[in-house]
């Protein structure tokens, strides 16, 4: 016979856009005391549009910043890359082909374009390399900003805007009613992270987070006695998903993230996690 828990969890997942990989995850979901969300594509839609392009080096125009950045981004699947390519197409940019393209895990992308090394990176990358952030970069709190380095020097930056998912608000109400702390860890800048956190009324956030720091955040919460669930979508999130008490891979995710996770959140919808927790609690309250 199929154990009741398995039968129930299969039914829950089928209806709710969840794939439960680890049988105990459904039972464990009612113990969650802290939820650590990633931002892009989970709490927000992950649908970026370019709002500003700025040159900070007289050798490179605004158009040149976009042209070189898009050479790299055409090889990336990140939502930021999709937004930049959309802009390049609108502007009818002739996008050059990059050589030696690769991702700098959780920090950006790099390649050689027309014999020059080019990078498009996060604020965390600049911090790590002691490159000062231009003072007007964060003039709008709602914007995500990525930085374009040419020959290791800052040439300009591109600002993009994303929107909060309407389901995030509803999900967070459910978590709050159930005394679950809701936190966010993102590679994005402090100002944008704070704006999203305040809009959603989160209990806290971590900004400009580098990949290895996600594991440390999970451990710190666990030391404080929290039973931690965490969402993540990238290869770089896999170690933290493994460390969390309940690891939730978002979307189709990358294979590595999905393989490490206990649960796969098929539609990237935070509301599905809320339903899982409510259903878990209701089921076990009835059984006891």
Do the beta carbons of residue 158 and residue 84 sit within 8 Å? yes
Do the beta carbons of residue 87 and residue 108 sit within 8 Å? no
Taking the least distance from each CB to ligand ADP, the nearer of 38 and 262 is 38
Do the beta carbons of residue 258 and residue 234 sit within 8 Å? no
Spatial distance between the Cα atoms of 107 and 4, rounded to a whole number of angstroms? 44
Do the beta carbons of residue 3 and residue 27 sit within 8 Å? no
Classify strands 181-185 and 34-37 as parallel, antiparallel or unpaired: parallel
* Least Å from the CB of residue 107 to ligand ADP: 5
Tokens of 220: 């710190």
Instruction: For residue 275, give the nearest of 176, 175, 197 by alpha carbon.
Output: 175
Binding mask 13-42 for Mg ion (x = CB under 5 A): -------------------------x----
DSSP string, 130-154: TPPPPTTTTSSTTEEEEEEEETTEE
Binding mask 213-252 for Mg ion (x = CB under 5 A): --------------------xx------------------
Binding mask 186-225 for ligand ADP (x = CB under 6 A): xxx-------------------------------------
**Residue 106 binds ligand ADP, judged by CB under 6 A:** yes
Taking the least distance from each CB to ligand ADP, the nearer of 187 and 239 is 187
Residues 51-80 that bind ligand ADP (CB under 6 A): 73, 76, 78, 80
Phi, psi of 229 (to 5 degrees): -105, 140
Which of 38, 233, 237, 262 is flagged as catalytic? 38
192 binds, among Mg ion, ligand ADP, none (CB under 5 to 8 A by kind): none
115 is catalytic: no
- 288's CB contacts (< 8 A; 6+ apart) are none
Binding positions for Mg ion, rule: CB under 5 A: 38, 233-234
Residues with a known catalytic role:
38
Binding site for ligand ADP (CB under 6 A): 38-40, 73, 76, 78, 80-81, 106-109, 120, 122, 146, 186-188, 234, 236
């Amino acid at each position: 016979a199929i154990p009741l828990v398995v039968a129930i969890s299969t039914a829950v997942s089928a209806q709710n856009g969840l794939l439960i990989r680890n049988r105990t995850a459904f039972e464990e979901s009612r113990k969650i005391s802290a939820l650590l969300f990633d931002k892009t594509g989970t709490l927000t839609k992950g649908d970026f549009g370019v709002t500003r392009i700025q040159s900070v080096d007289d050798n490179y125009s605004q158009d040149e910043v976009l042209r070189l950045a898009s050479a790299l981004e055409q090889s990336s699947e990140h939502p930021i890359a999709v937004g930049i390519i959309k802009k390049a197409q609108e502007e009818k940019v002739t996008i050059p082909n990059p050589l030696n393209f690769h991702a700098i895990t959780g920090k950006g992308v790099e390649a050689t374009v027309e014999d020059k090394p080019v990078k498009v990176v996060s604020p965390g990358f600049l911090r790590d390399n002691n490159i000062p952030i231009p003072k007007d970069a964060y003039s709008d709190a709602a914007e995500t900003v990525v930085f374009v380095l040419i020959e290791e020097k800052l040439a300009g930056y591109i600002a993009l805007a994303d929107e909060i998912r309407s389901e995030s608000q509803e999900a967070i109400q459910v978590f709050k009613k159930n005394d679950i702390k809701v936190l966010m860890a993102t590679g994005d800048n402090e100002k944008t992270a704070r704006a999203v956190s305040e809009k959603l009324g989160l209990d806290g956030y971590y900004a400009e987070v580098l990949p290895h720091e996600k594991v440390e955040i999970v451990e710190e919460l666990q030391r404080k006695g929290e039973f931690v669930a965490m969402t993540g979508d990238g290869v770089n999130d896999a170690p933290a998903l493994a460390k969390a008490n309940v690891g939730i891979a978002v979307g189709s995710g990358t294979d590595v993230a999905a393989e490490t996770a206990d649960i796969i959140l098929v539609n990237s919808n935070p509301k599905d996690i809320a339903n899982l927790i409510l259903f878990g609690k209701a089921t076990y309250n009835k059984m006891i």
